[in-house]
Structure 1
Amino acid sequence: MFPYIKIIFFLVLCSLLVSCGFKDIDKRSFVVTIGIDKPENKEEGYDISLKIALPSSDPKTQGEEFIIHTETARTVSEAVRLIKAKSGNELDFGHMKMIVFGEKLLQEDITQIMDWFTRRRDIQKIAFVGSGKPTAKAILELKPKGERLPSNKLFLFFGETGTESPYVTTNYLFHFYRNLMDRGIDPYLPIIETKNEEFEITTMSVLKNGKNAIVLDKEETKTFNVLNREYDKVNLKIEQENIYFMLSVDSISAEYTIVETKNIPYIEYDVNIKGIIEESLQQLDNTKIDEYSKMVEDVFTTEIQNLLEKFQEKSVDPMGFGLRYRATHNGTEEAKWKKWQSIYPALQFRVKVQTDIKSTGIIE
C-alpha cells in the first residue's frame, strides 16, 4: 500500500509543476529600459519602446547587444501585449531599472499612465525615472562607447555607483509617484540628453499637475540638489571683487522653519557649509579666510534666494514646503491645504548661510 501512496504523491506534485507559470531563462526576454513618447500623428495613445537585452555565448561581447521594440497603442498594457506577440519570448520586467518619458509627453498630464507602473507587480518601485530629450526612444537607442551592458551607463549615473555629480538628479519610481499624487510637494525629473554619442544629464524639470512646469538650468539644478539632498560632493564657484576661486565642500547641512506672523509669513532657511578652497586664479592670503567665507555666504545666499523665489513665482513646490506645513499644523486636511495655498504666494524667504573655510589650500 505504501508504494502506491508514493506514486500518487509524485504524480500530484508533477501536475502542480506543469501548471505553474515558470519559464526557462532562454524563453524570457529581459526588459532593461522602457520609454514612453507621444505619437507623432495621433492625439491619443502612446509610443511604447522596450529595450531588451540579448544574451550572448561569446564572453567578449556578452551583454552588449540589445533590441528595441516599439508599438503605438491607446494604453501601455495594449502596447506591451503587441510587443509580446513580436518577441516570441515572455517579457520579463524584473530587471527593468529605467523609465524614460519623452519631452513632448510631459506637455500633458501623465498621472494616468503612472498608474500602470505602480500596479504592475513585476516592476521595481526603485526603478529610476527621467525625461528624455528630444524623445525617450532616442535615449534607448543610444549606445555609448564602453557600455558593456544595455542601459548600464544610465544605471551608473543615477545609482551613483559610477560617477557622482551634483548636476545629476536622481529620482525613483516610488518617490516620483508619491510626490505626483500628494498635495504640498511637486515631482521632478532629471533631463537626459544625447550629445556626441554620449549622455548629458545636467538639468532637471519640475512638474505641476502631472506635466512640465519649469526647467532648471545647470546651476539651479546643482543648488536644488545641494538643498534637497544635502549633497556635499560639490564645488562652489565664487567670483566677486576681482577674486575667483572654487570652494570644495566637505560637508553641508540645510534646514528650514515655516514661521507664521500677523504680517507676512516667512521661511527661515539655514545652511551650514564647511570646506577648503581647492583652486583660485589669484594668490590668496591665508589670513583673510573670514573675508573669503563672507564671499561664499553672499554668493550662495543669492543663488538659494533666487531659486526659492523662482519656485514660488511658478507656483511649484519641489522642496515640499506645503507637505511640511500640512504635517505640522492642526485642523482638517482641506482647511490646512486651503490655508497653505493662500500663504505660499505671499511667503518671504530669509536665507542665512554660514561658511567655515578650513584653509585656502596653500602649503606653508
Structure 2
Amino acid sequence: MKNLCRLSGLFVFVMVLLTGCGFKDIDKRAFVVGIGIDKTEQNQEGYEVTLKVAFPSSGSEELGDQFELLSSKGSTIAEAIQLIKAKVSNELDFGHMKVIVLGEKVLSKDIGKTMDWFTRRRDIQQIALITIGKPDAKTILSIEPKGERLPSNKLFMFFDEAGTESPYVTTKFLYNLRRDLEERGIDGYLPIVQAEKDNFSITTMSVFKQGVDPLHLTKKETKLFNMLKKGYDKESIKVNAKDEFFMLAVDSLNTEYQIKQKQNQKISIEVIVDISGVIEESKVELKEGKLDKYNKLAEKVLTKDINKLLAKFQETKMDPVGFGLRYRATRSGTENEKWKAWKSLYPEAGINVRVNADITGTGIIE
C-alpha cells in the first residue's frame, strides 16, 4: 500500500514537471518556413525582420497561399524576433525553416554579425538555404507564385534541384556561408533572387568579403562560375565565330586547377577544363567531318571567357573559387605566413586556362 502511494506521488510529481516544460501542441505552433533580413533606414541602426509563417492544417488541400507575413524592426535580429512574438498567439517554431533571404543592402553591413544569430540558434538548421533578395527580402517572401503547394516551397525547389536544374542557379547553405566568412583563402557568394510581379527569377549571383563592396556577376559570368565551381554538366554553351555558330549541349564536364610557383617566387594558377557534348542547335550547316574544327572553336571561346572571369576576380581581389585555400593546403610554414604570402602573390599571379573539348556529334540530323 505504501509502495502504491509512493508511485502515485511520483506520477503526480512527473505530471507537474511535464506541465511546466516547454512542450507545445502542434495546433499551438506557428511554423516559420522563411525569414527575411533587411537593413533599416539610412539613419537607423538595426534590422527589419520578416517571417513567413505557415499554420498547421489537418486537411490535404494545397497551402501555397495560406501563410502570414510578420515583420518588426529592432536593433538586433533577436530583438526584432521578440517583438514579432507579441503579434502572434502561436509559438514560433524555426525547426522547419528552409530559406533565409538577405536584403541586398545587408551586404553593405558586416555580414558576419548579421549571420551570428543564425549560427548560434540550436533550432536553426545549418542546411538552411541562403539567398539575396532584390529589391529586398520582404518583397521576395511576399510573392505568391502560381502552383505553389506549400509556402516558400517553390523557392526551395529551385535551390535544392528537386525540381528544375538550371546552370544559372547557385546554391549556398548556411554552414557553407559560415565557412566562407571565417576561412582564409575563399570568399563568400550568394545567389540573387529578383522579384518579377507574381514570380521571381534566379539568374545572377554576388561575391562578397568583409569590408569590400560586393561584386555582382552577370548572367553569363554566373553560368560560367557554376560550371567551374560545381562541374555543372546540364547546360548549353554558345560558340560564335565568324562563319560558325552552334550551341554545345554539355554531357560531362570536369575542372581541375593547381597553384604553381616559379623560381622567381611568382605563382601561376593553372586551370584545366575537360568538356564533352553534342551540338544541339546551329544557324549554319554542320558536318561530322569537321568535328576537330568545332572542338577548337569551342576551346577558344571557353578559354577566353574563363580567363576573363578569373581576371575579374583577381582585379577585385575576390576569390570565390578558393585558390587561396589550395595555396595554403599545399605550402609549408605557419598559417599566418602562408596567408600573408598569398595576399601579396594573388594580385600578380598568372592565369593559364586550358580547355579540352570533345564534341561527339552534330545531333541526330542525317
Q: If the length of structure 2 is used for normalisation, what is the TM-score?
A: 0.96
Contact 1:56/1:63 (8 A) holds in 2: no
| CA–CA distance in structure 2, aligned partners of residues 66 and 210 of structure 1 | 37
State the superposition RMSD in angstroms: 1.4
Work out the percentage of aligned pairs sharing the same amino acid.
54
One-letter amino acid of the counterpart of residue 272, structure 2: D
The farther-off stretch of 48-57 and 20-29 is: 48-57
1:174-189 counterparts in 2 under 5 A? 174-189=175-190
Query: Cα offset for 1:104?
Result: 1.4
1:1-364 counterparts in 2 under 5 A? 1-40=2-41, 42-56=43-57, 59-209=60-210, 212-263=213-264, 264-364=266-366
Q: SS at the partner of 1:334?
A: helix
Query: Cα offset for 1:2?
Result: 3.5
The farther-off stretch of 15-24 and 114-123 is: 15-24
Q: Tell me the alpha carbon deviations over residues 97-124 of structure 1, each in whole angstroms, 9 at most, x when there is no partner.
A: 1111111121222111111100000000
| CA–CA distance in structure 1, aligned partners of residues 148 and 133 of structure 2 | 19
Gaps of 5+ in 1: none
| CA–CA distance in structure 2, aligned partners of residues 256 and 35 of structure 1 | 37
Q: SS at the partner of 2:221?
A: helix
Contact 1:228/1:319 (8 A) holds in 2: yes
One-letter amino acid of the counterpart of residue 95, structure 1: H
Contact 2:64/2:144 (8 A) holds in 1: no
Contact 1:109/1:211 (8 A) holds in 2: no
Query: Cα offset for 1:8?
Result: 3.0
Change (3 A) 1:211 1:47: farther
Aligned length: 364
Q: Tell me the alpha carbon deviations over residues 29-57 of structure 1, each in whole angstroms, 9 at most, x when there is no partner.
A: 10011101111254311001111013445
| CA–CA distance in structure 1, aligned partners of residues 138 and 63 of structure 2 | 23
Q: SS at the partner of 1:322?
A: helix
Structure 1 moving runs of 4+ over 4 Å = none
One-letter amino acid of the counterpart of residue 176, structure 1: L
One-letter amino acid of the counterpart of residue 355, structure 2: V
Q: Tell me the alpha carbon deviations over residues 249-283 of structure 1, each in whole angstroms, 9 at most, x when there is no partner.
A: 11100000100112342011100001111111111
| CA–CA distance in structure 2, aligned partners of residues 76 and 310 of structure 1 | 34
Change (3 A) 1:63 1:204: closer
One-letter amino acid of the counterpart of residue 260, structure 2: V
Gaps of 5+ in 2: none
Query: Cα offset for 1:89?
Result: 1.3
Q: If the length of structure 1 is used for normalisation, what is the TM-score?
A: 0.97
Q: SS at the partner of 1:83?
A: helix
Contact 2:64/2:148 (8 A) holds in 1: no
| CA–CA distance in structure 1, aligned partners of residues 333 and 96 of structure 2 | 44
One-letter amino acid of the counterpart of residue 321, structure 1: F
